[in-house]
Amino acid sequence: MFLRRTFAFFLLLVSSFPTFANLSISPNRVVFSERDRVATIMLLNSGDQAVSYRLQWKNLVFDNLGNLINVDKPQGPLVENMIRVSPRHVTLAPNERQIVKLAIRKPKDLPEAEFRSYLNLVAQPIEAPKEQKQSGLHINLMISYNVPVIVRNSSRIPEVSIDKFTLPDSENIELVMSRRGPLSSSGNMTVEHVDTNGSKTVVARLNNANIYAEQSTSQFRLPLIGHTKLPKHGKLVIRYEGNEQFKNHLFAERSFTL
């Protein structure tokens, strides 16, 4: 007689990693600008077993400390009421791909603002192969992955400032930044050390740094490249440059003397 044990693991992923548990998601973030009408997400099962996911909407917001919080009763227009998702259920054989289509239809009275919800991919149980059943050990991975879907109904560029710089320890740089305007900012941060002779070295970098529309301020921690200790002299030049629709736009730049 076999002793059957079933384990269920529930994981919520809200990071920028595009691959987890043999499911590749591209892109891992969808942005509808003012003129965009259709977007697609490609799902790829890179594993050796079939997977199945249900697609549903989830409302989450960030606080100023970067914590993601569930919103039970969101206010204002909802992204899920503007966007049609097809298909809503996906089953992928090993190495199979599926394109998920997102089509937007904005209401006429939509205010100038940014709206965001998360397309939540929830893994569904699939009947285990016969040989796995006979082994007496059945592991059922129940995985949830959140893809941010952003609707921008404005062309105004966010105003961003670098308010504070600290060194919490010998391996990290911490920044406090402010944002103003109806849209979130999205871009890449670089920290450059300039010595007393004018020589420049990039000492920290953070890509895809976002300050979301619900955040007036946000904190960022940038690990020093190679865990190199900062010199005690010279200055640090911090730049925050836009990507996506803000590509080539310099949101903010500030120097701090060491």
Instruction: Report helix, strand or coil for 246.
Output: helix
Q: Choose the CATH number for 159-257 among 2.60.40.10, 2.70.98.10, 3.40.50.300, 2.60.120.20.
A: 2.60.40.10
Cβ-based neighbour number of residue 21 at 10 Å: 15
The CATH code that applies to domain 7-152 is 2.60.40.10
What whole-number distance in Å separates Cα of residue 201 and Cα of residue 192?
5
Give the start-to-end residue ranges of the domains of the chain. 7-152, 159-257
Partner residues linked to 30 by β-bridges: 149
Q: Largest alpha-carbon pair distance within the chain? A: 77
Encode the chain (258 residues) as per-residue pLDDT tens digits.
333 333 333 344 433 334 456 889 999 999 999 999 999 999 999 999 999 999 999 999 888 777 888 888 777 788 999 999 999 999 999 999 999 999 999 998 899 999 999 999 999 987 665 555 555 544 455 678 999 999 999 989 999 999 999 999 889 999 999 999 999 999 999 999 999 999 999 999 999 999 999 999 999 999 999 877 888 899 999 999 999 889 999 999 999 998
Q: Is the pTM of this model over 0.95?
A: no
Provide the H-helix boundaries in the chain: 130-134
| ∠ CA 82-180-164, rounded to 5° | 130
